[in-house]
Chain A
């Protein structure tokens, strides 16, 4: 690769040893390049395959129709899409206040012992297997009530949002210069107004982006919903009843033996990844606008 060749050592000495070292260097550098290329291959394969398979199965009726019985072509996942939106709504109600509150705490108490501990545990919680969250929510929110419910599912993925939202909020609040905080305090702002009206508002763009990314992440979560929201073949918006969800439906359909359902699973996967893609691009643009130009 030309990049690699251009600046390998320029110290004179034309001994064979130097030559060997140079060749070794070029080989290794090329290998890292190959590794990078291989790392990207699966993504391209997934996107390409989804586009080919998914786009073929995707139609307007996928968004507007209920699932069709086995053997009947067509149908859609309208109930699952709405169900996922409902679940995200519950998750945000659970996860956002805690996540943003904890993030603000971490940013404002930087360096305190409790803050360090909470930050560490938030990172650990972030690595919690989603299936563990699923059985926890079942034991805690399903078993005592005797039935699966949208609330339990939403709470489970809401809990998974908390560490994500906490860390982004902290990160974004820390980019707000200390001088701004001092200016507000010197003007007679109480701390809580300084924190909410000046600091949080200034960091809001970044936090919204972080929240979107967290939403995209949990929107695709399946494992925590298996034994909580459970899924539902019918139209249901009752929060205390089982509710359909896009990732659950994809899982069930993909595992089925019918080609029609496989096609539906593809379509659902395409919608999910489309959501992730759009949010990631938005997040990228917002972060770039934030850190690229403007005032420091």
Chain B
């Protein structure tokens, strides 16, 4: 007869016992089968505990990593922050030989490029998201959102290569002259001066292309999450399709959309490669968007390996720390806004 997985029956009163090969516990009814103190049982409990602790450990790695970055980058940049004090943020000096550094041009450049990016990208992204969630024929919805996702997945350096060899010449030969001369925007300080090509404007525009898919994806998500009842209520009141969107859907999704835009801002602030390749890398505060400039990220990317003195390195670390804190705050706000919306949905 083949062995069967039926527990052997002991002399106890019970039909089938829980008995394990372990020694009896020594209690009064030790002779009858018990569930108690089999070593195998204990092992299982320990395995579960170990497993749980392992998962907790991995989960804690994430806050730990953030904290570590904060401490490491912060302490590496501390000498420069300490040395220059508050003027580090306001000075536009950049003299590695004499050890004079100020991050103002890079900070201004970062903010400027990001603002250009958002101003250009937000209407397009929002329009695209509205089209995708409200008006797009269903056969177009899938491929279109796939393309948008793909746009988000293109590596930054590829944007940079494309920007250098295709986008910059295009800007230099047609877009920039058009803005400056044809539209006579050259009369304002913002579009005056010679056209180089690499410039704050070029970096801002490439950033616009890069953050557009992020804003569009988040906006689409929150628009889709708006309950049908909101739309139907507006339509039932006699609103046109656009009035429904503008009057009922967008207000409902507003928080999430703002979150998405801020998320895009976070991306734009920290974007490195494409910007480094297009901004021209010059340490100057200039009102003209046609002039070359610097962002914090491109400043680090460009000078870090060339920084020979400790103060120069520490300065770049300090710039990185400022950038880190800025994006941390921006992302923290954006995630709070986006999360609140998705919680409402759930």
B339 contacts A39, CB within 8 Å? no
User: Which residues of B sit under 8 angstroms from A22, Cβ to Cβ?
Assistant: 240
Name which of B73, B135, B160, B161 has the most chain A CB atoms within 10 A of its CB: B161
Query: Are B155 and A127 within 8 A (Cβ)?
Result: no
Tell whether A257 is near chain B: CB-to-CB under 8 Å: no
Whether B66 pairs with A121 at a CB distance below 8 angstroms is yes
| A-side contacts of B73, CB under 8 Å | 132, 135-136, 139
1/0 per residue, CB under 8 A from B, across A237-262: the answer is: 00000000001001100110000001
Given contacts A35-B127, A118-B62, A269-B158, contact A129 B323 (CB under 8 A): yes
- Please provide the chain B residues from 169 to 224 with a CB less than 8 Å away from any CB of chain A in the complex: 209, 212-213, 216
B124:A272 contact, CB within 8 angstroms: no
Q: Are B161 and A269 in contact (CB under 8 A)?
A: yes
Is A162's CB under 8 angstroms from B162's CB? no
On whether A191 and B48 interact (CB within 8 A), knowing A42-B209, A222-B155, the answer reads yes
Interface centre among B65, B243, B269 (most CB of A within 10 A): B65
Given A11-B238, A124-B332, also A46-B154 (CB < 8 A):
yes
Contact with B along A34-52 (1 / 0, CB 8 A): 1110111011011001100
Q: Please indicate the chain A residues that have their CB under 8 angstroms from the CB of B277 in the complex.
A: 251, 254-255
Is A131 part of the binding interface, using a Cβ–Cβ cutoff of 8 Å? yes
CB-based contact B157/A135 at 8 Å:
no
B273 touches A251 (CB 8 A): yes
Residues A136 and B335 in contact, CB atoms below 8 Å apart: no
A196 to B241, CA, bound (A): 49
Asked whether A102 lies within 8 Å of B62 as measured between CB atoms, the reply is yes
A130 touches B270 (CB 8 A): yes
Among the 9-residue stretches B3-11, B84-92, B140-148, the one with 4 or more Cβ atoms under 8 Å from chain A is: B140-148
A97-B58, A114-B59 known; A36 vs B157 contact (CB < 8 Å): no
A91: CB under 8 A from chain B?
A: no
The minimal Cβ–Cβ distance linking A47 to chain B, given in whole angstroms, is 9
Docked Cα-Cα span, A247 to B154, in Å, equals 12
The interface residues of chain A lying within 8 Å CB-to-CB of B263 are 127
Known: A4-B135, A97-B58. A135 touches B241 (CB 8 A): no
The DSSP consensus for interface residues of chain B is: helix
A128 an interface residue at 8 Å Cβ cutoff? yes
Residues of A within 8 A of B59 (CB): 101-102, 105-106, 114-115, 118
Q: In whole angstroms, how far apart are the Cα atoms of A135 and B313 in the complex?
A: 10
Q: In the complex, what distance in Å separates the CA atom of A171 from the CA atom of B287?
A: 46
Q: Does A223 contact B (CB under 8 A)?
A: yes
Residue B131 at the A interface, CB < 8 A? yes
Check A128–B317 contact: CB distance below 8 A. no
CB pair A101–B55 under 8 Å, yes or no, is: yes
A25 touches B158 (CB 8 A): no
B331 at the binding interface (Cβ < 8 Å)? yes
Check if B272 sits within 8 Å of A120, measured CB to CB.
Answer: no
* Interface residues, chain A, with chain B CB atoms under 8 Å away: 1, 3-4, 7-9, 11, 21-22, 24-26, 28-29, 31-36, 38-40, 42-43, 45-46, 49-50, 53, 97-98, 100-102, 104-106, 108, 114-115, 117-118, 120-125, 127-136, 138-140, 159, 162-163, 166, 190-192, 195, 213, 216-217, 219-223, 226-227, 230, 247, 250-251, 254-255, 262, 265-266, 269, 272-273, 276-277, 280, 284
Please give me the 10 A-B residue pairs with the lowest Cβ-Cβ distance, nearest first. A129-B270, A220-B155, A35-B127, A101-B58, A192-B51, A25-B242, A25-B240, A127-B331, A105-B55, A36-B128
